[in-house]
């Protein structure tokens, strides 16, 4: 089981790699060959992290290798977690990078090379999760540059779903595990749409239980949509521990069957489901059979309010696609 992680000396990876090395994340009992990738200038920092990983003596791990290039790292990979990229909040050339989409010009190029290498050298059954922002459009760049259209590309919206569940559990005083069918549609950006109208809590509809549309529209939605920015403001750095947990949860959700009556969240290439245009990576409610088959759950009913929100986030994804059209 070969697992490639880019940006391995960064903040997210510092939590993500230990999470992935816990028992039970992957379905297979095969031991993990970790392939950790960084840019040349970060290799020394990565080597320090490798020493810590060695000292952790994980029984799940077979080997740990480091790479300063993607081509050698991804040979025969089963999973590629593409974290390596620049986060927003930094100042570049005197200008603060405010929105994730402002990162397109900086990060987009990384994913052309990575997509090509993964398509040429990783396993046919390889699963790819893009975490680096703007994740949806970076996934589109990677997928488009890959010569292999059978591998399974995703962008991370699990963190948005976890945030949406956490805030709902606070509002309704229930446990997060009692929440079923909470889907986040669209872009990992301030236009994302966490839908409560199809969400259940112990068999009861969440939207009905809240019974307050104004709270949903004017408090809940902006809180989830702006959570990343809120964390950057407070921490002076983008979310890392929660992002790592969400990335590990995405791997788990793909590797194991989805619990009955529930969904998990990731952005995948749209086939037109729920009116999201084909050819963009959009967040959808998904189920996994635990054997590599992942499908969009198609029985969510969308109100006019929800349809309007989906149109807004779809338009943003189309704009982002247009912006990088020479990369795909």
Binding site per annotation, positions for NAD(+): 107, 131-133
Which of 133, 250, 288, 313 touches ligand LMR (CB under 6 A)?
A: 133
Which of 10, 46, 100, 158 touches ligand LMR (CB under 6 A)?
A: 100
36 lines the binding site for ligand NAD (CB under 6 A): no
84 lines the binding site for ligand NAD (CB under 6 A): yes
Cα separation, 198 vs 220, whole angstroms: 15
Which CB, 108 or 285, lies closer to ligand NAD? 108
Q: Please check whether residue 263 is in contact with residue 297, taking contact to mean a CB–CB distance below 8 angstroms.
A: yes
Residue 188 annotated as catalytic: yes
36 sits in which H/E element? strand 32-37
Cα separation, 70 vs 83, whole angstroms: 13
Q: What's the token pair of residue 128? A: 């790819």
Q: Which does 6 bind (CB under 5 to 8 A by kind): ligand NAD, ligand LMR, none?
A: ligand NAD
Least distance to ligand NAD, CB of residue 314, Å = 18
Count of other CB atoms within 10 angstroms of residue 245: 18
Cα separation, 33 vs 66, whole angstroms: 11
Q: What's the token pair of residue 176? A: 């997060």
131 lines the binding site for ligand NAD (CB under 6 A): yes
Q: Which does 328 bind (CB under 5 to 8 A by kind): ligand LMR, ligand NAD, none?
A: none
* Count of residues touching ligand LMR (by CB under 6 A): 11
Q: What's the token pair of residue 230? A: 């809120």
Least distance to ligand NAD, CB of residue 110, Å = 4
Window contacting ligand LMR (CB under 6 A); options: 145-153, 174-182, 201-209, 232-240: 232-240
250 lines the binding site for ligand NAD (CB under 6 A): no
Query: Which of helix, strand or coil describes residue 2?
Result: strand
Q: Which does 187 bind (CB under 5 to 8 A by kind): ligand LMR, ligand NAD, none?
A: none
Cα end-to-end span (Å), the chain: 30
Cα separation, 159 vs 156, whole angstroms: 7
Binding site for ligand LMR (CB under 6 A): 87-88, 100, 133, 159, 228-229, 231-232, 238-239
């Amino acid at each position: 089981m070969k697992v490639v992680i880019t940006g391995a000396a960064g903040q997210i990876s510092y939590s993500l790699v230990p999470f992935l090395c816990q028992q039970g994340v992957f379905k297979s009992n095969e031991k993990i060959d970790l392939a950790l990738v960084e840019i040349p200038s970060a290799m020394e920092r990565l080597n320090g992290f490798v020493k810590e990983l060695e000292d952790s003596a994980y029984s799940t791990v077979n080997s740990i290798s480091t790479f300063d290039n993607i081509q050698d790292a991804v040979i025969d990979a089963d999973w590629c977690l593409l974290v390596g990229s620049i986060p927003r909040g930094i100042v570049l050339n005197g200008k603060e990078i405010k929105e994730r989409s402002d990162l397109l010009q900086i990060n987009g190029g990384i994913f052309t090379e990575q997509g090509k290498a993964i398509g040429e050298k990783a396993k046919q059954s390889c699963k790819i999760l893009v975490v680096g922002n703007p994740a949806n459009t970076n996934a589109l760049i990677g997928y488009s540059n890959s010569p292999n259209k059978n591998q399974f590309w995703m962008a991370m919206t699990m963190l948005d779903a976890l945030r949406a569940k956490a805030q709902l559990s606070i509002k309704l005083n229930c446990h997060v595990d009692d929440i079923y069918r909470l889907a986040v549609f669209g872009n990992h950006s301030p236009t994302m749409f966490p839908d409560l109208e199809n969400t259940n809590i112990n068999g009861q509809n969440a939207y009905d239980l809240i019974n307050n549309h104004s709270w949903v529209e004017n408090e809940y939605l902006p809180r989830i949509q702006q959570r990343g920015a809120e964390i950057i403001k407070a921490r002076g750095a983008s979310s890392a521990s929660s992002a790592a947990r969400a990335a590990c949860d995405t791997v788990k959700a793909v590797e194991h069957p989805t619990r009955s009556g529930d969904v998990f969240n990731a952005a995948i290439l749209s086939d037109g489901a729920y009116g999201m245009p084909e050819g963009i990576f959009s967040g959808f409610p998904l189920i996994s059979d635990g054997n590599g088959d992942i499908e969009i759950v198609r029985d969510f009913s969308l109100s006019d309010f929800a349809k309007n929100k989906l149109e807004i986030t779809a338009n943003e994804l189309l704009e982002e696609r247009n912006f990088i059209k020479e990369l795909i």
